[in-house]
Structure formats: structure tokens, C-alpha cells
Amino acid sequence: MFIHTFGPVAIQIAFAIGMALFLLIFTNAIGPKKYNPVKFDTYECGVSYFNDARGMFNVKFYLIAVIFILFDIEAVFIIPWSVIFMEFKKLGLGLFILGEMAVFLGVLVLAYIYIIKKGALKWD
């Protein structure tokens, strides 16, 4: 029934909303209120901000981000491999599956060397 499948989720959502409301109202109610211009800054830490967060980023960030995505996503193949590794080892095929991963990582390393040689990671 509904309550069995979604009950815990509903409780979790209710708790999260309640906690947020409680904190907002409670601090507002009992906290001291001293208003001055610094209070209206984005960060109340003493360092004044210098421009909008939605501005342009340097294109070099894109390059790093793209390279990060490409190497990050390879974990998607490494994790299933590590899960089934022991089963293959029990079948006596440990070397086979290790070699397969070595080929895969070899291609990745080649790509990494390529990136370094092309100067994609140089910052100037």
C-alpha cells in the first residue's frame, strides 16, 4: 500500500521541511537584531565581493572541465569490473580480466599523455 512504500520518504520530507521552518522561525524569534550595511552583504565575512557570480568564466575552465568529465566517466567501467573480478579469479581467468583492464587503462594513459603533450593542462 501507499503508506508502506512512501511512508519513510514522506516522513523524511516532512522532517526536512519542518526542520528548516523551525530553524528559520526560531532564530528569527530569539536572535538579537542589529541592522547595519554590512549585514546586507552577500557574505558577512569582511571581504567585499567584486562581481556577479553569473559572469563569464575563462575558456580554460571549460577545457579542464571537459577533460575532467572524460576521465571521470571511466569509473563507470572500472567499478563493475572490480565487482566481478573475484568471480573471474575463481574461474581461473584472473589474468585474462586483469589484462583486459590493463588494455583499457593503457588507452586512458595514452589519452592522458596526449593531453599533457598538447599542453591542455598548461595554465598560461
Partner 1 sequence: MNFSSYYAQLKYLAPELSLVVFSIVALCVHMFSKKEANKIVKFAAITGLIASLIILFDTPLSNNPLYSGSIIIDGFSFFFKIIFLLSGIMTIMLCYRFYNFEGSEIGEIYYLILFAIVGMMFTVSSVDLITFYVSFETFAIISYLLAGAFKKDLRSAEAGVKYFILGILSSAIMLLGMAFVYGLTGETNFYKISSALPQADLTLALVSMAFFFVGLFFKIALVPFHMWTPDVYEGTPTPIVVLFSTAPKAATFAVLARLIMTVFSGYQFQWSIIFTFIAVVTMFWGNLAALIQNNVKRMMAFSSIAHAGYIMIGFAAWGTLSITAIMFYLIVYLFMNTAAFALIILVQKKMGFGENVDDLKGLARRYPMVAGCIIVVLLSLTGMPPTAGFIGKYYIFTAAVEKGFYLLAVAGALNSVISLFYYFRIGKAMFMETGTEELSDKNISFVKSVIVACSIFILYAGIFPSKLTEFISSIAIK
Partner 2 sequence: MELTINHYLVLSAILFSIGTAGVLIRRTGIVILMSIELMLNAVNITLVAFSRYQQQVTGEILVFFVMAVAAAEAAVGLAILVVVYHHKKSVDVDEINSLRR
Residue numbers of the site for partner 1 (CB under 8 A)?
A: 93, 96, 110, 113-114, 117-118
x/- track of binding to partner 2 for residues 32-61 (CB under 8 A): ---------------------------x--
Q: CA angle at residue 49 from 46 to 51, to 5 degrees?
A: 175
Tell me how far the alpha carbon of residue 95 is from its chain's centroid. Answer: 33
Least distance from partner 1 to the Cβ atom of residue 96, Å: 5
Which of partner 1, partner 2, none is residue 61 near (CB under 5 to 8 Å by kind)? Answer: none
**Are the C-beta atoms of residues 96 and 88 closer than 8 Å to each other?**
yes
Task: Report how far apart, in Å, the C-alpha atoms of 97 and of each of 37, 58, 59, 63, 108 are.
Answer: 64, 42, 40, 33, 17
Which residues here bind partner 2, judged by CB under 8 A? Answer: 1-2, 5-6, 59, 62-63, 65-67, 69-70, 72-74, 76-77, 80
